[in-house]
Structure 1
Amino acid sequence: MMLSLETLSIARGGRTLLAALDLVLQPGSITVLAGPNGAGKSTLLETLAGDLPPATGHVRMGTDCVSTLSLARRAELRTMLRQQSQLVFDFTVTQVVAMGLHPHGLAADSPEGRALITQALADMDLSDFATRPATRLSGGEGQRVHIARSLVQLRAGRRQGHPGLLLLDEPTTGLDYRHQLALLAVLKSEADAGATIVASLHDLPLACRLATRLLLISRGQLLADLPPARLEPTLVADVYAIDTAEAALLLGLGRAPLALPLAAE
């Protein structure tokens, strides 16, 4: 699904976070938002999802203006993974993942519903956790549960003819490196299937591995819109207000070989 931002400005607490954004995000693309804390990444994602109204301008999903869509229709067209998803009730992992079926009217005990749940559990390495209470998992395990729920919602929509928009706010939070890499592989597969993916990430090397397009946000501006291969330490230093040498280290450049003393024979 094509996502269009038309002269979009966003604000929070009376403060303009981003102004006059004009962007088109194509199906099959993975756009990563990066920038310092408070730059407006989460607010932008909430605006793209239709959960927050823009200060000015419009967001369009396909040809539909998001502000005109009902909550139910938005849930059919887009999936949103938020930074903090707290569970209060003692649902099992499978029950939480099955919640992704509800916007599309699919039952968890239907053949299609069961297949979607089973695949998402496997993708997030949760098959052995299926009957566990979701409230009794570690932070990283709980994050994988919410990612699996989001995958079910996205894939259920695609089966009903919606190519899908997947919005992820810091999806790697709490994940160990193996599960971060597994998530990257799943997201690339979803993009290959036609989804439009927008994610915020703080880990720049990981962002460069995932993204087809990077949007660097700082000081109320979109400072850069570029493919990961063009990301330079000088730009990172400007965005994060750090030394260029530190930015090079952050990107994995300029590291000296690590010399370890040999054990005495």
Structure 2
Amino acid sequence: MSTPSYAMRDSMTMLRRNLKHAQRYPSMSLSTIAMPVLMLLLFNYVFGRALGDGIGGTEAGATGAGGDYIDYIAPGIILMAATSGAVATAVSICSDMTEGIVNRFRTMPISRASFLTGHVVGSVIQTMVSIACVVLVALAIGFRPNANPGEWIAAAGLLALLTLALTWLAAGIGLVTKKVETASNIPLPLTFLPFLGSAIVPPESMPSGMRWFADYQPFTPLIETLRGLLMGTGIGNDGYISVAWCLGLAVVGYVWAKRAFAKGVRN
């Protein structure tokens, strides 16, 4: 068996390990789903009337009865589900690094790359399942996208690419933090950064300084691209910008995680 085949086999073993671990201890996975669902319900049913009226939504939309506001916020909250998975990834990797299991892996004849690969692929799978659950909840409370099958596939691809990029960043965080509590806190700003974009209200409604930040932070073009794919609004250059942001974050996260893991193994 060739070296790539051994690495693939070991990575699949690590993937099965992480998926079984998530199945036996589902609390973190459930929290990944619960946070965006709670935010969706909160903004639709509690703040929806005021915010919906402010952006031209109807009272029906604010109450979740089929109006406009749920259609506006759902893409942003769905994207938030992709960011929530970063916390679980950082915690899982930090736990392995601090509890000594990695030292045991070092004594075994397995590919070193398989440890990170198994974690990252497993986290991407879990996060995509969480995103699907959030989409189902959004549909149940009145979200009515008009996307065709090709646009749904493109939206899923964009979410998968973002999830992969954030998972590699979270892997780097998990490798360099010394405590699980720290690993769980550092990625939290990623979860709420979409709120400082166009997830809840258009940037045009924000004060000038906040609007500038919303226009140039990475999640606004991602939200607008996802909204355009699902709701048929204009995308413009946001699609290219979104892919560029995802690829850039993925490369940075991959290089950081790879170097941090190599340093940790040497130590």
Shorter-chain TM range is under 0.3
**Structure with greater proportional strand content:** 1
Q: Give the alignment's TM-score, normalised by structure 2.
A: 0.25
